[in-house]
Chains A and B, each alone.
Chain A
Amino acid sequence: MDLDARIKLAAYAHFAETGRGPIPAEVARRSGTDVATVLDAYPRLRAQRLLLLEADGASIRMAPPFSGVPTPFVVSVGGTRYYANCAWDALGIPAALHEQATVQSHCEQSGEPLRLNVGRSGPEPSPWLFHCLVPAAKWWDDIVFT
């Protein structure tokens, strides 16, 4: 496994195990490297759209489907709570973890709460809908807005 893959997996493993984003020292520990090596790899992982970094270049805003900051898309798996980046990623977390989950969010128009049970083969039948304002070709122009 190449270095960038080790660092990516280390960051993602921390999200998967804790529901929170790792600091660079934690990624270094998990990947058997050092902080400078981790920080050097982060822009390359950003270029592959596997990480979105904060302005400090060290804090992970997104490791899709995981969010490093609280959002209105909360996913519960066992006793761990995760924040997803968006509605798509809210289903992406149980898909990535291959675990049953409960997604909690709301209707963007009415505020009505959504509580969606997701099994290993998909969500329970639901009339709720997903909507994205931004065309696919523009998603990463401003992925936080998307």
Chain B
Amino acid sequence: MVFFRSEERAQDWCVAQGHTLRPLVRMDQLWALATTWYATRLQADSRRPKPEEMRSIFTGLGLTGDFWDPRSDTFG
């Protein structure tokens, strides 16, 4: 999970590294993810979102498709 200056830089890096370019996320979307995951992390009853909650969060931010589907993200 890294930063890129632009989509072109991300594309160049993926080609050079032999990786598939994944969906790119804007900073405002990333802030929404960060607050959803961590805003209560220093509280006693905090927990990670469960898979169904994750799917809803991603969809609400326009992050859709198989890449964002956490269906096999089971919790130990």
Taken residue by residue from 32 to 76, chain B's Cβ proximity to chain A (1 for < 8 Å, 0 otherwise) reads as: 011101110111110110000010001000000011111111011
* Chain A interface main SS type: mixed
Known contacts A95-B39, A136-B58; A131/B70 CB under 8 A? no
> How large, as a class, is the contact surface on chain A?
35 or more
Q: Which residues of B contact A105 (CB under 8 A)?
A: 2-3
Say whether A142 faces chain B, with CB atoms less than 8 Å apart.
no
Find out whether the CB atom of B44 lies under 8 angstroms from the CB atom of A9. yes
Find out whether the CB atom of B1 lies under 8 angstroms from the CB atom of A129. no
Q: Which residues of B contact A9 (CB under 8 A)?
A: 42-44
Known contacts A5-B45, A109-B9, A136-B70; A87/B2 CB under 8 A? yes
Find out whether the CB atom of A129 lies under 8 angstroms from the CB atom of B24. yes
Q: Which residues of A contact B30 (CB under 8 A)?
A: 87-88, 91, 123, 130
Find out whether the CB atom of B34 lies under 8 angstroms from the CB atom of A108. no
- Give CA–CA (A48, B12) in the complex, Å: 36
Which B positions have Cβ atoms within 8 angstroms of A? 1-7, 9-10, 12-13, 16, 19-22, 24-31, 33-35, 37-39, 41-45, 47-48, 54, 58, 66-73, 75-76
